[in-house]
Amino acid sequence: MARSERTVHERVVQEKDTPSTEAIQDRKFRERQLTQRQIVLRKVTNFVWWFTGIVEGLIGLRIVLRMMAANPGNPFANFIYTLSNVFLWPFQTLVNNPRSEGVVLEVSSVIAMMVYLLLAWVFVELLWLILGRERA
């Protein structure tokens, strides 16, 4: 190939490979939208994990108090038991909880913790799967 033909060929190839200004602006706009969407998704994800952490901590504290045979008449223990009942009512009759001299091992609460953790993980993964990537 002669030098002049190669130069013309290189220019044509370069023009095909070089995106137009409009294409560059369109890509930047889509990247900016994707970034804003990802910011919102990250905030929602952080909230879901924060809320799950609060619920897990509350149920874990209840398990510890029940294993220590804490007095349910105590205001703090009563507050924890009352607040955690909201999250435990679907699981309370699932299994029998072993008892011995006032000490209770709440197996149903441990199951509830695992279920809530699994639900939070599935919810976050679905959010990112559905909304996290830009569609072509």
The rounded distance, in Å, linking the Cα atoms of 75 and 81 is: 10
Lowest-confidence region among 12-26, 43-57, 77-91, 103-117: 12-26
Q: Helix, strand, coil shares of the chain as percentages rounded to 5?
A: 75, 5, 25
- Give this prediction's pTM: 0.70
Is residue 73 domain-resident? yes
Considering just the CA atoms, what is the radius of gyration of the chain in Å? Answer: 29
Which tokens go with 110? 């441990």
Domain limits at 84? 35-131
- Closest by CA to 63, choosing from 73, 55, 52, 74, is 55
The three-state secondary structure class of 49 is helix
Is residue 44 domain-resident? yes
Is residue 19 domain-resident? no
136: pLDDT confidence band, cut at 50, 70 and 90? Answer: very low
Q: What is the share, in percent, of the chain residues with pLDDT greater than 90?
A: 49
Spell out the residues 6+ positions from residue 51 whose beta carbon is closer than 8 angstroms to its own.
120
pLDDT at 1: 55
The rounded distance, in Å, linking the Cα atoms of 77 and 47 is: 27
Number of domains in the chain: 1
pLDDT at 23: 73
Is residue 5 domain-resident? no
For 32-89, what is each residue's pLDDT tens digit? 666 777 888 889 999 999 999 999 999 999 999 999 989 999 999 999 999 999 999 9
